[in-house]
Amino acid sequence: MPPPQSPDGDDPDALRESLAEFPDNRLLIELCGEYDRNLAEIEQKLGVQILRRGNQIVVIGDAASSTEALSVLGTLYERLESGRRVDSGDVDRELRMDSPGGSYDGDQLEMFRGGRIEIKTRKKTVEPRTDAQKIYVQSLFANELAFGIGPAGTGKTYLAVAVGVNMFVEGHVDRIILSRPAVEAGEKLGYLPGDMKDKVDPYMQPLYDALNDFLPGKQLAKLIEEKRIEIAPLAFMRGRTLSNAFVVLDEAQNATTMQMKMFLTRLGEGSRMVITGDRSQVDLPRGVPSGLSDAESLLKGVDGISFNYFTSKDVVRHPLVARIIEAYDAADPARPHKP
């Protein structure tokens, strides 16, 4: 794609027209999206106006916003040229990656600028949408034990399960083991009917949901039946040695100190372990310390263990979720999501 053209001017805040040409009209239509929704998303996020004239895109805005908009459009067009699709999530990711307000500075990201990070699974390819997610995914591949700490909706568990499926499919591990503490979130649910699986499955449903995104239904059912994929409450991990497995402990803020120590010491030869949690959503009884907080203070600096932090800027659910988290954090400074 030829470089954008813009008129000369010394005032960076002055509105100007910047132009870029996209030679393949079919790809340009895909770039714009249905009813130009991709262009509308870029306009809303960057405060620019985008016009299409034949096979050219004109961006009207200040110098910085126009440059960023054209950079995002160029990256998305290259994605289409490589044969991949562009959807709203891809637009959101490129906007976040280009944004100067990310969670990590340039030096921290420099080691990961060698290429685009992709997690290939049987059903889809997953790409980090924020700088923090990008570094998190890198740490999952690089470290035998990694922690992901931050608010809901930042992709901590989803990306961990995606990496686990990737390693399983590629033959790097023989099993995937997903676990959660079976702790009620402020409600007394009473006695649940059915056998043990029926009783614990409601607590494990988010893990099933993630797996269903990455593996075909019949294959997933077969792997669960063969015990090559296990989803079990934290209490079921006692006494086991988890070798040649990719192990995820989700909602780790609801593990007690003894449970956390028990789980961490299950790590066996050839295995990788990921611990995810949100320090602001502890559902343990009052006075019972969270094992996640203890592990964080005790294990920082230990070789081979990485700690990765997320904030409301990394939320990839509905934009309103990020604003809700920011409002709660502002009202209660004792519940920060930052390290």
Q: Between the CA of residue 302 and those of 86, 87, 305, 338, what are the distances in Å?
A: 40, 40, 6, 20
The pTM of the full predicted model, rounded to 2 decimals, is 0.71
- Quick one: fold of 106-331? Rossmann fold (3.40.50)
Query: Which residues fall within 8 angstroms of residue 100, CB to CB, at 6 or more apart?
Result: none
- Quick one: fold of 16-98? Ribosomal Protein S8; Chain: A, domain 1 (3.30.1370)
Of 85, 160, 99, the residue nearest 314 (C-alpha): 99
Domain with CATH 3.30.1370.10 in the chain: 16-98
Q: What angle (nearest 5°) sits at the alpha carbon of residue 153, between those of residues 330 and 151?
A: 40
pLDDT computed for residue 77 by the predictor: 87
Dihedral angle at the C-alpha atoms of 63, 67, 73, 78, nearest 10 degrees?
160
pLDDT computed for residue 277 by the predictor: 94
Domain with CATH 3.40.50.300 in the chain: 106-331
Q: Do the bridges between strand 16-21 and strand 145-149 make them parallel or antiparallel, or are there none, so unpaired?
A: unpaired
pLDDT in tens, the chain (339 residues): 544 454 545 566 678 888 888 888 888 888 888 888 888 888 888 888 999 888 888 899 888 888 888 888 888 888 888 888 887 777 877 777 655 444 433 433 443 444 568 899 999 888 888 889 999 999 999 999 999 999 988 999 999 999 999 999 999 999 999 998 876 544 444 555 665 566 667 778 888 899 999 999 999 999 999 999 998 888 888 888 889 999 999 999 999 999 999 999 999 999 999 999 998 888 888 889 999 999 999 998 898 899 999 988 888 766 676 677 778 777 765 555 545
pLDDT computed for residue 220 by the predictor: 93
